Amino acid sequence: MNDDDRIFKALADPTRRGILDALFARDGQSLTELEAVAPDMTRFGVMKHVKLLVDAGLVVTRRDGRRTLHHLNPVPIRLIHDRWISRYVERQAAALADLTQRLESS
């Protein structure tokens, strides 16, 4: 599995997106704090989701004494945006700009 596949797989799950949102809101959370994202899930289940995010490079961990803190790494998402999303948005934005110009000149 290549890096893009890992990132898309990680982003495909709503629980993992919730974890990323939580880290975006407040970076550097412990696993215990991240468990609040999925209160119906076991600690082990949340841990599996976090591990997949780490494997995809979307989350970076750092030891702080006895705790492991999880930090958001937005770089892979930006690379996906630059490679995939912006390519499709650019054409649509250009078409809207052309339409606006034609309507204003009429």
3-state secondary structure of 40: coil
Query: What does the pLDDT read at residue 26?
Result: 97
Query: What does the pLDDT read at residue 2?
Result: 84
Domain ranges of the chain: 3-105
Percent of the residues in the chain that have a pLDDT greater than 90, as a whole number: 68
3-105 placed in CATH 1.10.10.10: yes
Query: What does the pLDDT read at residue 7?
Result: 93
Angle ∠(53,39,19) on CA atoms, nearest 5: 25
Q: What confidence tier does 95 reach under pLDDT thresholds 50, 70, 90? A: confident
Q: How does pLDDT run across 14-46, given as a tens digit for each residue?
A: 999 999 999 999 999 999 999 999 999 999 999
d(CA 101, CA 85): 25
Determine the length of the chain. 106
